[in-house]
Amino acid sequence: MLKPTKICRFLMAVSFFSVFVKTGDAQNYQLKPVPFNQVTINDNFWAPRLASHANATLETCIAQMQDSTERINNFARAASIMEGQHQGIYFDDSDVYKAMEGIAYSLINNPNPVREALLDKWIKLIAGAQQEDGYLNTFYTLNHPDERWTDMEKHEMYCGGHMIEAAVAHYKATGKETFLNVAINFADYLAKNFGPGKKHWVPGHQEIELALVKLYHETNDKKYLDLAYWLLEERGHGHGHGEIWNKEHWGAAYCQDDVPVSEISEIKGHAVRAMYLFTGMADVAAEKELPDYVAALERVWHDVVDRNMYITGGIGSSGSNEGFSKDYDLPNKTAYCETCASIGMVLWNSRMNLFSEDARYIDVMERSMYNGVLSGVSLDGDLFYYVNPLESDGDHHRQRWFGCACCPSNISRFIPSVGSYIYLTSAEEVFVNLYVGSKAQFEVGGQKLTLVQSTNYPWEDEVEFTVNPESPASFALNLRIPGWCKQYQLWVNGELIKSKPGRSRYAKLTRTWNKGDKIRLKMAMPVELVASHPKVEENVGKRALQRGPLVYCLEQTDNKQFNLDEVSIAETTAFSITDAEGKLKGMKAVKAETNGQTLTFVPYFSWDNREPGKMKVWIDYNE
Ligand code: FUB
Ligand code: ZN
């Protein structure tokens, strides 16, 4: 957990304020991401991950949905094609939807008629399982048809939200309305039954809110946005009920139902629920101009990032509530850090940046993405972590699947969406948030632009851009200067540019751009020794290694001759960068020469891809 300075807090408050002063009518976010279907990734870092996703991750998910578990059969039963009761966990439908979202995204850049036909087949079952009135949930339909909407913890709207997200993705990928119509029927059913003067409801697990905003964007039907807002406003007024809301259990804070959302300032409860809530709040706030929401998000952001986040960008240290405990309680071996929670951090922080044009949110987003999220999936794409500790005795391994499989299915939809976090536009400016070798085609100020980015980031410190406007075009190109970067140099067409990152940590290049203009950015990327906040007891007297956005760790397999519980580093330790070998080929390892010994550190996300053994992020440090 890192310590932001007071000045940075102040600056963030200013930038949020300016959003609403500037726009007056905040109909949407200030920045718009360039969608991943307009971005082709061709680097050495993400492209292999996308390939293993398209092959192994999706194949694993598909096999689990229809062969190894009852998930697809539950839909067939609810569609009366098969006999029998619902089997599995009451929110298993959501995994099918998340896998479908992942398949749909992957179709955009990797057309695949077999997968598209599979989606068609599953959509038929889902449409068949939808009830006359639009209700859709196989658990209730099959096992408790008379008990719909009796238990707010039972994830009916959570499943529905994932269904809506999958349907929108399918529509975007294929242009087919089959699934979108199911989503619209469901959302119309919700709007008929819930809302002002209708049934009160506090979804135990948030998700529907952000999904309804997506549906609003797709259909332009404002009732979905209004319903999302109403659902957010239901929280914190005593409407929530269910076993977990009871004081003897976790209480209302577990589901972020203890205070009205605009009064939130402390992070509490279940981590994934909180992240989806904040993402939904940001989406609704952007549409409806809600400064109270933005202020609440900013407050709670500081509570998460300053006091409750691991160096890996993981959150939710406690397994018992899959969430937050008390400030600075960040144990390493027992860190829960659910993969879904790190994905939630990416979703939420990317939205905070869209509001504010402030790149500090992207520092957090990048941290979660390159460490906390990526550790959740094996390099081959076929094994997954649910829990992502920062230390292990060698007994924690990725698995092919889980009884509760939220994390693999979340990975399946997150990885193919990575392209949409790289480039953004505002009315007349372009923003580059992530350094990923890629080619993007989009418009800025009404002009067509192709931007080519070449880099071996995060292994190397240089990035080159070729700017290709259709015809000479004047606009500002803003390059994010990551928080970890203390020094950088910038050239345009070979000429060194004097530039300081602005208040929001972007280096702004404003000029008339011509076809073939070149930008070169070099970011000093030394090995950094990071100290934890002194209140994190476990890390007192320890340091972690970070290089660029990547957190490093020691694994037993690279350090066989040492007992990892006894090694230490010091101020005098000399670090050097080397090429990793074997399974980690293509990555950079860090060698540490210390006390006459050589320790080898590897990127945290890559751990447990080779032979099992101990792992440690925080290492004893001799002052
Ligand atoms: O409840 C649905 C998902 O399952 C949550 O997001 C995860 O934490 C797991 O409990
Ligand atoms: Zn999960």
Which stretches of 32-155 are DSSP H helices? 46-52, 58-63, 71-78, 93-109, 113-129, 138-143
Task: Output the pLDDT for position 20.
Answer: 30
Whether residue 272 has its Cβ less than 6 Å from ligand 1: yes
What pLDDT score does 171 carry? 98
Q: How many residues does the chain have?
A: 623
Instruction: Tell me the pLDDT tens digit for each residue of 220-234.
Output: 999 999 999 999 999
CB atoms inside a 10 Å sphere around CB 48: 14
Please name which ligand lies nearest the alpha carbon of 386: 2
Is 4's pLDDT higher than 80?
Answer: no
**Average of per-residue pLDDT across 498-521:** 94
Question: How do residues 116-131 score in pLDDT, each as one tens digit?
Answer: 999 999 999 999 999 9
CA of 252 to the centre of ligand 1 (A): 16
Is residue 46 within 8 Å of 418, Cβ to Cβ? yes
Query: Residue 501's pLDDT is what?
Result: 86
Which amino acid, residue 148? R
pLDDT at residue 2, as a whole number: 36
Ligand 1 neighbour 406 (Cβ under 6 A): yes
Question: How many Å apart are CA 264 and CA 257, to the nearest integer?
Answer: 10
Q: Are 398 and 343 in contact (CB under 8 A)?
A: no
pLDDT of residue 28: 81
Mean pLDDT to the nearest integer, 264-290: 97
CA of 405 to the centre of ligand 2 (A): 7
Q: What percent of the chain has pLDDT over 90?
A: 92
Between vectors from CA 519 to CA 515 and to CA 522, what angle results, nearest 5°? 165
Predicted pLDDT of residue 244:
81
pLDDT in tens, 452-482: 999 999 999 999 999 999 999 999 999 999 9
The finding on whether 574 has its CB within 6 A of some atom of ligand 1 is no
For position 1, what pLDDT does the model report? Answer: 38
pLDDT tens per residue across span 235-244: 999 999 888 8
Write down the pLDDT at residue 246.
83
Protein residues placing their CB within 5 Å of the ion ligand 2: 338, 340, 406-407
* pLDDT of 6 higher than 70: no
Best mutation site among 256, 270, 407 for ligand 1, i.e. most ligand atoms within 8 A of its Cβ? 270
Give the residue-averaged pLDDT of 429-444. 98
What integer pLDDT is reported at residue 242 of this predicted model? Answer: 81
Q: Helix 222-234 and helix 208-219: axis angle, to 10°?
A: 160
Tell how strand 473-480 and strand 429-432 pair up: parallel
pLDDT digits (tens, 9 = 90+) for 19-51: 332 223 334 899 999 999 999 999 999 999 999
Per-residue pLDDT of 510-526, as tens digits, reads 999 999 999 999 999 99
Residue 339's SS3 state is helix
What is the Cα–Cα distance from 290 to 213, expressed in whole angstroms?
15
**Model confidence pLDDT, tens digit, residues 525-540:** 999 999 999 999 999 9
Distance 407 CA to ligand 1 centre (A): 8
**What pLDDT, in 10s, does the model give residues 153-184?**
999 999 999 999 999 999 999 999 999 999 99
Instruction: Work out the average pLDDT over 53-62.
Output: 97
pLDDT tens, position by position, 386-426: 999 999 999 999 999 999 999 999 999 999 999 999 999 99
Is the CB–ligand 1 distance for residue 338 below 6 Å?
yes
Query: What is the secondary structure of 52-68 as a DSSP string?
Result: HIIIIIHHHHHHIIIII
Nearest atom in ligand 1 to 272's CA: 6
* Residue reference for tokens 């697809």: 72
| Residue position matching structure tokens 């279907």 | 37
User: pTM for the complete prediction?
Assistant: 0.95
Q: Look-up: residue for tokens 């070798």?
A: 437
- Is ligand 1 within 6 A of the CB of residue 205? yes
Closest ligand to the CA of 404: 1
Q: Share the mean pLDDT of the chain.
A: 94
- The DSSP annotation for 211-256 comes to HHHHHHHHH--HHHHHHHHHHHHHTTTT---SGGGSTTTT-GGGGT
pLDDT for res 119: 98
Residue labelled with tokens 């101020």: 571
CA 176 to centroid of ligand 2, rounded, Å: 29
Mutation choice for ligand 1 from 340, 347, 388, 410, CB with most ligand atoms inside 8 A: 340
Q: What span, in angstroms and rounded, lies between the C-alpha atoms of 455 and 521?
A: 10
For ligand 2, the distance from its centroid to the CA atom of residue 94, given in whole angstroms, is 11
**Residue of 169, 172, 177 lying closest to 102 (CA atoms):** 169
**CA of 316 relative to ligand 2 center, distance in Å:** 12
Q: Which residue among 154, 244, 270, 404 is best mutated to probe the pocket of ligand 1, counting the most ligand atoms within 8 A of its Cβ?
A: 404
Euclidean distance between CA atoms 234 and 204, whole angstroms: 12
Query: What gap in Å lies between CA 166 and CA 97, rounded to an integer?
Result: 6
Peptide bond into 612 cis (omega under 30): no
- For helices 156-174 and 93-109, what crossing angle results, to 10°? 20
Is 80 exceeded by the pLDDT of residue 139? yes
**What is the topology classification, in CATH, of domain 425-457+461-523?**
Immunoglobulin-like (2.60.40)
d(CA 97, CA 100): 5
Report pLDDT for 75. 98
- pLDDT, residue 23, reads 28
The mean pLDDT of 130-139, rounded to a whole number, is 98
Q: Region 317-335: what's the mean pLDDT?
A: 97
Question: Distance (Å, rounded) from C-alpha 498 to C-alpha 62?
Answer: 52
**pLDDT level of residue 433 (50, 70, 90 thresholds):** very high
Of the listed ligands, the closest to the CA of 322 is 1
Q: Residue of the nearest CA to atom 4 in ligand 1? A: 406
Active site residues: 322, 406
Average pLDDT over residues 66-91: 98
Task: Determine the average pLDDT of the residues in 324-352.
Answer: 98
What amino acid occupies position 132?
Answer: E
Rounded-to-integer distance, Cα 223 and Cα 444, Å: 31
> Domain residues of the chain, as ranges?
69-258, 425-457+461-523, 527-622
For the record, the structure tokens of 351 come out as 């939205």
**Closest CA relative to residue 153, chosen from 257, 265, 276, 263:** 257
